[in-house]
Amino acid sequence: MITRLKSSLPLLGIAALALALLVVAPAVLSDLRLNNLAKYCCWAMVAVGIGLTWGRGGMLVMGQGVFFALGAYAMGMHMQLESVGDGGIPTFMILYDPLAPLPAFWEPFRSGVFTIAMIVVAPVVVASILGFAIFKRRVKGAYFAILTQALAVALATLISGTIKYTGGDTGLSGFTSFFGYTLDDPLNRRLIFTITATLLIGCLVVVWQLYRSRFGELLVATRDAEERVRFLGYDPANVKLVAFVVAAVMASIGGAMFVPIAGIMAPKSMDAAASIFFIAGVALGGRAALFGPVLGALAVGYGQSTLSEQWPGTWIYVLGLLFVVVTIALPGGIASLATRGAGVMAGLLVGRRPSHRKAASA
């Protein structure tokens, strides 16, 4: 009975989170706050992917901004074209060069179906090629982390440097509608929130299923003893590759939803600093736990937008200290506290005395 209860606990948690996001939040929050919460949900999607690769797979991805950008720019390009209407050319391009035709790679993004397909296909292709090359050559640990960060830096530099095609540092903005729904209408913005929150819950369900599958066991085994996994006849590179690709898709979807919510996409939202910001929530919440990354990312997102509005400098200190303190004192994040607490609770529930008597008698 207890084991069945235990195995369904994560599902109950997901249901509780879904209830909080889809029913409670829209009922109590104002339009503005709901829009902010939608933004945190986008970051949380990235965080769920980082939890999968870093927490369970041991691969510290410091460049999720790359995949975030793939989704965000695909969506941004589509919404930009939708806003200027059929045959129109985005304003920033006209400002730059009134006579320039629309670049060829922009053209297909007029189609909404193509855009949605690209949001999923682009990260799969990029992450597969990259991951295949990196993992097959057994590049790992710090090397892997630095390489991914270098890619985020490279892509951010590339976008900043190609003003003509991407809007450069100013980015894409001035969107008016999202797949036919005008963005001015608060009701439509609530709809966008609902979609985002549903996608986040979807990501959580996917990761939950992965964690309880044989793949999840293999992933943890690869993290803890890669050579043993290899000796057992599995190829750790494939295991890592799957986790990396899934995380990339989640980051891309998060990026895509970020654009209608934030109303702007610029390199600042995906560069090395942003990629590190994505990790902050995961580290705080607990990288290996199911709910750690989500709750951590929501908390860090909330912290950023409330604190940084009032004292921008202070927030950076807080974030920096968070990294230092969490990595030194609490590598398992806040979730590790919860697990410890839950262990004691479960012991009390069953009537079995936990190993430390003090906790039982207290």
Nearer to other proteins, 186 or 331 (CB): 331
User: 353 with 360: CB under 8 angstroms?
Assistant: yes
User: Segment contacting other proteins (CB under 8 A): 23-31, 210-218, 232-240, 270-278?
Assistant: 270-278
Is residue 232 at the binding interface for other proteins, with CB under 8 A as the rule?
no
Is residue 95 at the binding interface for other proteins, with CB under 8 A as the rule?
no
Separation of alpha carbons 250 and 128, rounded Å: 14
CB atoms within 10 A of CB 96: 14
CA nearest 252: which of 109, 126, 113, 81?
A: 126
Nearer to other proteins, 99 or 328 (CB): 328
CB atoms within 10 A of CB 98: 8
- For residues 125 to 144, the per-residue mask of contacts with other proteins, x marking binding by CB under 8 A and - elsewhere, is --------x---xxx-xxx-
Q: Give the number of residues written for the chain.
A: 362
Nearer to other proteins, 260 or 292 (CB): 292
Is residue 173 at the binding interface for other proteins, with CB under 8 A as the rule?
no
User: 229 with 239: CB under 8 angstroms?
Assistant: yes
Question: Which structure tokens are listed for 358?
Answer: 């003090």
**Is 265 strand, coil or helix?**
strand
CA distances from 132 to 138, 148, 240 (A): 10, 13, 9
Name the minimum Å distance from CB 292 to other proteins. Answer: 15
Name the minimum Å distance from CB 336 to other proteins. Answer: 14
Residues 6+ apart with CB under 8 A from 278: 43, 46, 47, 50, 64, 65, 68, 251, 297
Is residue 151 at the binding interface for other proteins, with CB under 8 A as the rule?
yes
Binding other proteins (rule: CB under 8 A), the pick from 321, 337, 345, 350 is 321
Name the minimum Å distance from CB 271 to other proteins. Answer: 9
CA distances from 295 to 17, 28, 58, 276 (A): 10, 19, 20, 17
Binding other proteins (rule: CB under 8 A), the pick from 7, 209, 327, 355 is 327
Binding other proteins (rule: CB under 8 A), the pick from 7, 8, 157, 182 is 157
Is residue 323 at the binding interface for other proteins, with CB under 8 A as the rule?
yes
Q: Which residues in this chain contact other proteins in the complex, by CB under 8 A?
A: 58, 60, 133, 137-139, 141-143, 145-147, 149-151, 153-155, 157-158, 160-162, 227, 272-273, 276, 279, 283, 313, 316-317, 319-324, 327-328, 331
